[in-house]
Amino acid sequence: MEKEKTTEELLKEKLFYKKENAFEKNDEAYRSAVKEYAEGYKKFLDSSKTEREAVTTSIKMLASRGYKEYKLGDKLEVGGKYYLNNRGKSLYAFKIGSEPVEEGIRICAAHIDSPRLDLKQHPLYENESFAYLKTHYYGGIRKYQWATIPLALHGVVTLINGENVEITIGENEGDPVFCITDLLPHLAREQASKPMSAVFTGEGMNLLIGSEPYGKCDEAVKLNMLKILNEKYGICESDFVSAELVALPAGKSRDMGLDKSMIHGYGHDDKVCAYPALTALLESENSPHTLMCVLADKEEIGSDGVSGMKCILTLDLIYEISKSFSANAGVVRMNSMCLSADVNAGYDPMFSEVYEKRNSAIVNCGVVMSKYTGSGGKSSTSDASAEFVAYIRNIFEKDGVIWQTAELGKVDAGGGGTVAKYIANQNITTVDLGVPVLSMHAPYEVIAKNDLYETHKAFCAFCK
Ligand code: MN
Ligand code: MN
């Protein structure tokens, strides 16, 4: 016999907010749906380490579901499914709904670039019979985390005739990997006393790539490296100038924990939001709304340039969609809504001092909505309205989405922004949404499968 609840307990149930944990849901079908969805995500993640790879992977998924390539100015049809491939580095997938486009577009936006080490324009040099590649880090990294781990090279070299040579070294069985070396503890007495930021400098992030000379001459090891690259890829040293080659953690993502409840991998930020956004679009075949999924580049370095969210292309595309159906683009944007999907800092008990737990993203407690991001007195955030947050609450509650709200750590502990403000600045109602991550921006980040799945459910509810 269950004990009867007291008046206080009943009143508490009615009045108190209680954060839901996905593990409270004791349902076999739910557990297996979470696991199955995570398998698809891991495949996406492993084949999308750079923004270019993520665009290629996403286009394959879109094409298999009947999406056709669209170029600005092309004719559009009601019910049509399209994607705009922006220079191979960012992607706009959209589906024209049956309702008038002036009702607005439902946009899910995430970014597909992740922190890494970009090669410099003149990267290759020899020092004491070792060959190295000089790097310039991309995005906010903690440099010491990138030393000694196996790194792979990914990217393209565009030859002077315009031909693209794709390079991936370090991912297949038998491939070599590269690394940045560190000091042995036996001789690190002085290094260990330095502040962490002084131990590895930007100019110290040099990738060790070889040690065997070719013949007997000056710079014989460097010569050998160029000989190997030339034989395999047909490139010379000058071709590095028109290349986008990046060093990033080698290998595949893995299940984490004895219970396999988490995923350990490179680039969750922000593929862990890009995948749910894209799959929600693909699964929303019956939605009457015009839907759009934006996968942006350059978020990690400020969203500037032709492939970043500050680019006017989003405006141009909405203008073209509107024009196709004789709609006023200003009205379309005014009535549009956007979930700006990016990861949040998962509460980490190992570093509890930087979090305010009541307003932190708790791992396994579902998708995180952030009314505002930014830093130091809500600086640099679009800060969604109470009305829009209430609207989102409502659709989540209706679809049983497990969700929570959070801001990024304690007030004045630091902070960060997302693409939300750039979209909101175009007069599109926007709020932040995403997955809690542990060790964010480290070579390997950690997420929970429950949160990934709930983020997908959130996008599906929004697109419905
Ligand atoms: Mn991000
Ligand atoms: Mn980031």
Q: Do 92 and 175 have their domain in common? A: no
Supply 267's token pair.
Answer: 């680039």
Q: 122: helix, coil or strand?
A: strand
In terms of Cβ atoms closer than 10 Å to its own Cβ (0-12, 13-18, 19+), residue 130 is middle
Q: What does the pLDDT read at residue 2?
A: 73
Q: Does a structural domain hold residue 4?
A: no
- pTM here is 0.97
Instruction: Quote the CA–CA distance of 338 and 9 in Å, as a whole number.
Output: 38
In single-letter form, the type of residue at position 32 comes to: S
Q: Do 316 and 452 have their domain in common? A: yes
- Report pLDDT digits (tens) over 216-232: 999 999 999 999 999 99
Positive/negative CA dihedral, 143, 144, 148, 150? negative
Q: Does a structural domain hold residue 166?
A: yes
Instruction: Quote the CA–CA distance of 250 and 169 in Å, as a whole number.
Output: 9
Q: How far does the centroid of ligand 1 lie from the alpha carbon of residue 29, in Å?
A: 31
Pick the last residue of a domain from 222, 249, 276. Answer: 249
Give 198 or 447, the one with higher predicted confidence.
447
Q: How far does the centroid of ligand 1 lie from the alpha carbon of residue 299, in Å?
A: 7
Pick the last residue of a domain from 249, 276, 300. Answer: 249
The helix (H) or strand (E) run that includes residue 228 is helix 220-233
Q: Do 110 and 121 have their domain in common? A: no
- Report pLDDT digits (tens) over 243-253: 999 999 999 99
Q: What does the pLDDT read at residue 227?
A: 98
Does residue 189 carry a pLDDT above 80? yes
Instruction: Quote the CA–CA distance of 163 and 69 in Å, as a whole number.
Output: 22
Q: What does the pLDDT read at residue 54?
A: 98
Give the residue from 67, 115, 113 showing the smallest Cα distance to 285: 67
Q: Does a structural domain hold residue 12?
A: no
Pick the last residue of a domain from 201, 221, 249. Answer: 249
Q: Does a structural domain hold residue 321?
A: yes
Q: How far is CA 163 from the centre of its chain?
A: 28
Report residue 26's pLDDT band, with 50, 70 and 90 as the boundaries: confident
Q: At 130, which CATH number?
A: 2.30.250.10
Does residue 5 carry a pLDDT above 80? yes
Q: Do 428 and 290 have their domain in common? A: yes
- Report pLDDT digits (tens) over 173-188: 999 999 999 999 999 9
- Report pLDDT digits (tens) over 374-432: 998 989 899 999 999 999 999 999 999 999 999 988 999 888 889 999 999 999 999 99
pLDDT averaged over every residue in the chain: 97
Please confirm whether the linkage preceding 118 is cis (ω < 30° from 0).
no
Q: Do 127 and 208 have their domain in common? A: yes
Query: Which residues is 295 bridged to in the sheet?
Result: 91, 110
CB-based contact 406:370 (threshold 8 Å): yes
Distances (CA, A) of 123 to 49, 145, 164, 178, 406: 21, 21, 19, 14, 41
Instruction: Quote the CA–CA distance of 127 and 222 in Å, as a whole number.
Output: 9
Residue 419, number of CB atoms within 10 A of its CB: 27
Q: How far does the centroid of ligand 1 lie from the alpha carbon of residue 408, in Å?
A: 12
CB-based contact 229:243 (threshold 8 Å): no
Q: How far does the centroid of ligand 2 lie from the alpha carbon of residue 98, in Å?
A: 36
Query: Which residues is 90 bridged to in the sheet?
Result: 86
Q: What does the pLDDT read at residue 415?
A: 87
Instruction: Tell me which ligand sits closest to the C-alpha of residue 270.
Output: 1
Report residue 190's pLDDT band, with 50, 70 and 90 as the boundaries: very high
Q: Do 276 and 413 have their domain in common? A: yes
Q: Do 25 and 125 have their domain in common? A: no
Does residue 302 carry a pLDDT above 90? yes
Q: Does a structural domain hold residue 259?
A: no
Q: What does the pLDDT read at residue 1?
A: 63
Q: Give the domain range for residue 152.
A: 116-249
Supply 392's token pair.
Answer: 């989102």
In the chain, the number of structural domains is 2
Q: Do 175 and 323 have their domain in common? A: no
Q: Do 202 and 244 have their domain in common? A: yes
Q: How far does the centroid of ligand 1 lie from the alpha carbon of residue 300, in Å?
A: 7
Q: Does a structural domain hold residue 257?
A: no
Per cent of the chain over pLDDT 70 is 100
Kindly report which listed range (124-128, 329-333, 406-410, 458-462) carries the lowest average pLDDT score: 406-410
Neighbours of ion ligand 1 (CB under 5 A): 269-270, 342
Q: Does a structural domain hold residue 228?
A: yes
Supply 48's token pair.
Answer: 């999308």
Supply 209's token pair.
Answer: 């790539």
- Report pLDDT digits (tens) over 63-109: 999 999 999 999 999 999 999 999 999 999 999 999 999 999 999 99
Q: How far does the centroid of ligand 1 lie from the alpha carbon of residue 220, in Å?
A: 42
Q: At 275, which CATH number?
A: 3.40.630.10
Report residue 153's pLDDT band, with 50, 70 and 90 as the boundaries: very high
DSSP for 69-95 reads E--TT----TT-EEEEEETTTEEEEEE
Q: How far does the centroid of ligand 1 lie from the alpha carbon of residue 28, in Å?
A: 32
Residue 412 backbone class (left: φ over 0; alpha: ψ -120 to 50; beta: rest): left
Q: What does the pLDDT read at residue 445?
A: 98
Q: How far does the centroid of ligand 2 lie from the alpha carbon of residue 57, in Å?
A: 20
Q: How far does the centroid of ligand 1 lie from the alpha carbon of residue 272, in Å?
A: 9
Q: Do 219 and 70 have their domain in common? A: no
Q: Do 102 and 135 have their domain in common? A: no
Q: Does a structural domain hold residue 185?
A: yes
Q: Do 110 and 122 have their domain in common? A: no
- Report pLDDT digits (tens) over 305-360: 999 999 999 999 999 999 999 999 999 999 999 999 999 999 999 999 999 999 99
Neighbours of ion ligand 2 (CB under 5 A): 269
